Structure 1
Amino acid sequence: MTNVLHLINYLGGGGSEIYIYTLAKKLHNNHCKFYIAYSEEGKGLKLFEDLGIETIKLQMNSPFDIKAANELKKICKELSIDVIHTHFLRENYISILSKLLGNKVRVINTRHMLDKNSKSVISMNKFFTRFNDSIIAVSSSVRNQMIYDEGLNPNKIKLIYTGVDLEEWSKPSSLNFRDEYKIPEGEILITTIARFSKEKGHEFLINSIKYFKDYIKTNNPEFKFKFVLVGEGELFNDIIDKAKDLQIYDDIIFTGYRRDIKNILKSSDIFILPSNNEAFGLSILEAMAAGLPVITTNSGGTREIINKDFDNGIIIEYGEIHKLSESLVALIENKELKEQYIANGYKTLSTHFNIEKTIEETYNLYKGRDI
């Protein structure tokens, strides 16, 4: 049994936590024993407690927190940790510091972000990643950025796509989301699941909803629709205020944080991810697994999922308000096109984003294979 400590500063409910959760569901108590060490408690804590994973509070005040590095070394010794799997810069630096202080573990980092780093951060990354045993890139876009923009060692970087468990998604799900919000079956639900932060493109989406509503009012006034925006974040209230200013607030359901993503997606008709910057796009995979056609933006890792070769959805440029509205109309009016994207989306998942492949490749890194 390989003991793996996942180190994450904030244990919220975003994509990084879902990434860890996906690994844990397959590997915890099956080849591996997982532990979670965190600095700030968030809504994601319960996810791991429900899986029976031991969680440990470890205060991490900065990337160069020597006290945290020493405490991490102590935790690893007490739990006989073989691998520390880090998920952001702070946690990775602290893990490397603990290694330099004598912590005899493998340190693996997953790069979840596509943000451009400053010159000083790039320089520090070049130094610290020398001591990483391997680095997982969640998409080719992320891998290319690390190699060509930051000059990191390509031999240490392994592209591992995050997959979805199609068997799990095929199981029956509660479909009471429409009942909860009193939405009749004939009303089209158009859903977005994303943290309310600048890179996720909510302002673009809100402007597009306004344009779409005006188009429908003019061309098909009998048509009924609702947009569902799932998530929370620093821009949550700002987006609500903008929706009110544009007089589209009543056309949108702002759910806040939800754990019943499967329920929401399977109750929906169309999925949109309008990001300005996206390292990968796990929510796209989940939407396709739920049997939804997808509209997304050409914003990084998304084009590795939705593209013309796969013929599995619609990809537009960020900010194309008219194009997003036209794409929605196309999916609503052309049932054959919608079904084509749904079928090809499922094929894409089974062929390219299979969870078993993700698990096998990640486990190989834990064991020091295929580096």
Structure 2
Amino acid sequence: MNILHIIFSIEKGGAETYLFNIVENMKGDMNFFVLCDHKGGNHKKIQDICKNVDIIDMKNPFDLKAAKKVANYCKENDIHIIQTHFLRENYIAVLSKLFNPKIKIVWTAHLIADNKGKIKFFNKLFSGFVDKIICVSEAVKKSLIEEGISEAKLQVIYNGVDTKHYKPIENNFFKSKMSLNDSTLVLTTISRFNKEKGHSFLIDGIRELEKYIENFKLILVGEGEEQEAIKQKVKKYELEEYIMFLGYREDILEILSITDIYISPSKNEAISFSILEALSSGKVVVATEVGGVPEIFKKGDIGVLIPYGEPEVFAQAIVHLYTNEKVYEKKKMNSRKIVVDNFSLNKMVKETLNLYNELLNE
């Protein structure tokens, strides 16, 4: 089976993690191909795990020239299914059917739809020519139904994480390396710095938490356009002693190993790889009650859901976990199990492979 993934560029986000996981872990008689518009910040990683990575120019969602190139690429490489990841690639894949009508197309909906006007119209129109839309959460599925996309086209396949890699480990050496002592409460957030990820609200929450707990550190991992603004806000509130900016890191497992509570302060979230990775590592999570995040918490008692934008509630949630050891330990014991049972990489890969087979057998 030959599967072509089309993604505008390989960066350092959730869609790219999804793609890496599929390409690297789907076994059997499978050949993967990847088309990008240009080399992104994480392009080498996909080249390391996939031998068929190529570049084609995708000027806009209605680029017929690109669509014809995709169709020719599919014919030359005997592609059975195209899987796309964002709007531009979705439309170009559908347009490629003008030149290669028999190709199967899977859209992957990584985000909760909040489209207006023309985009909403064209999404509904173009969805009629795809074979299936993978929704990474029920919240994503609901948002697409509200846009008028046929429910028959939609299938929820939750993102999955590698539970063999993300597992509880002891790492006292790493804690000392980070200049943290054993009594320090370690909070961690791992995400790119943009407004949707809620860093500004998180800093407001830390400012409130300072009133109740003295010995704590917040570790922020990631990069992005909002990073400098957040650093300035930390400086303005005089919170420098409590917050560590680590930038982009590859040693996520080590960082999670010294984390006491994982924080997800997002304003919107379809489903969160970082939450699932933290849970698989045996961590308690405090997260905003947005998008598909509550679907994770419905699987077990694993932390605390809070409303977005209420710093006092955030602080009290941390204090509650910090001062109630039995409550904390109970939630911690549940964390890994809900990922193993519901959000494992094996489960995601198996369900996606089943979908591929179903499409080819139609």
> Where on the TM-score scale, by shorter chain, does this alignment land: which range?
over 0.9
Offset of residue 82 of structure 1? 1.2
Give unmatched runs, 5+ long, in structure 2. none
Check the 8 A contact 2:37/2:58 in 1, yes or no: yes
2:291 aligned partner: 300
1:178 aligned partner: 175
2:279 aligned partner: 288
2:357 aligned partner: 367
Offset of residue 175 of structure 1? 7.1
Offset of residue 137 of structure 1? 0.6
Partner amino acid, structure 2, of 1:260: D
Instruction: Report the CA distance shift for 1:110/1:225 in structure 2 as closer, same or farther (over 3 A).
Output: same
Instruction: Report the CA distance shift for 1:171/1:266 in structure 2 as closer, same or farther (over 3 A).
Output: closer
Check the 8 A contact 1:173/1:262 in 2, yes or no: no
Mapped partners of 1:127, 1:78: distance in 2: 28
Check the 8 A contact 2:191/2:222 in 1, yes or no: yes
Check the 8 A contact 1:177/1:267 in 2, yes or no: yes
Check the 8 A contact 2:168/2:281 in 1, yes or no: no
Offset of residue 93 of structure 1? 0.3
Offset of residue 236 of structure 1? 1.1
Deviation digits for residues 144-190 of structure 1 (CA, Å, limit 9, x no counterpart): 1111x201011110011112222232386977653543223332220
Mapped partners of 1:252, 1:213: distance in 2: 11
Deviation digits for residues 279-325 of structure 1 (CA, Å, limit 9, x no counterpart): 11121110001111000011110000014x62221001111211111
Offset of residue 338 of structure 1? 1.5
What aligned pairs does 1:157-168 form with structure 2 within 5 A after superposition?
157-168=154-165
Query: Which deviates more, 103-112 or 272-281?
Result: 103-112
Percentage of matched positions with identical amino acids: 38
**Counterpart of 2:268 in 1: which secondary structure?**
coil
Check the 8 A contact 2:6/2:34 in 1, yes or no: yes
1:234 aligned partner: 225
Partner amino acid, structure 2, of 1:238: A
What aligned pairs does 1:1-371 form with structure 2 within 5 A after superposition?
2-27=1-26, 30-102=28-100, 104-147=102-145, 149-170=146-167, 177-216=174-213, 223-307=214-298, 310-369=300-359
Deviation digits for residues 315-341 of structure 1 (CA, Å, limit 9, x no counterpart): 011112111111111222222212111
Mapped partners of 2:136, 2:317: distance in 1: 27
Check the 8 A contact 1:109/1:136 in 2, yes or no: yes
Instruction: Report the CA distance shift for 1:327/1:288 in structure 2 as closer, same or farther (over 3 A).
Output: same
**Counterpart of 1:296 in 2: which secondary structure?**
strand
**Counterpart of 1:163 in 2: which secondary structure?**
coil
Offset of residue 106 of structure 1? 1.1
Partner amino acid, structure 2, of 1:258: R
Check the 8 A contact 1:114/1:279 in 2, yes or no: yes
Check the 8 A contact 1:115/1:277 in 2, yes or no: no
Offset of residue 102 of structure 1? 2.0
TM-score by length of 2: 0.94
Matched residue pairs, number? Answer: 361
**Counterpart of 1:68 in 2: which secondary structure?**
helix
Deviation digits for residues 176-214 of structure 1 (CA, Å, limit 9, x no counterpart): 653543223332220001121111111100111111113
Mapped partners of 2:30, 2:177: distance in 1: 39
Check the 8 A contact 2:284/2:331 in 1, yes or no: yes
Query: Which deviates more, 75-84 or 280-289?
Result: 75-84
Offset of residue 103 of structure 1? 5.4
Partner amino acid, structure 1, of 2:336: Y
Offset of residue 128 of structure 1? 0.7
Give unmatched runs, 5+ long, in structure 1. 217-222
Mapped partners of 1:173, 1:194: distance in 2: 23
Instruction: Report the CA distance shift for 1:233/1:280 in structure 2 as closer, same or farther (over 3 A).
Output: same
Runs of 4+ in 1 over 6 A off after TM superposition: 171-175
Deviation digits for residues 235-255 of structure 1 (CA, Å, limit 9, x no counterpart): 111111111111112321111
Mapped partners of 2:73, 2:344: distance in 1: 33
Offset of residue 140 of structure 1? 0.5
| Superposition CA RMSD, Å | 2.0
Instruction: Report the CA distance shift for 1:153/1:330 in structure 2 as closer, same or farther (over 3 A).
Output: same
Mapped partners of 1:171, 1:347: distance in 2: 12
TM-score by length of 1: 0.92
Mapped partners of 1:49, 1:296: distance in 2: 34
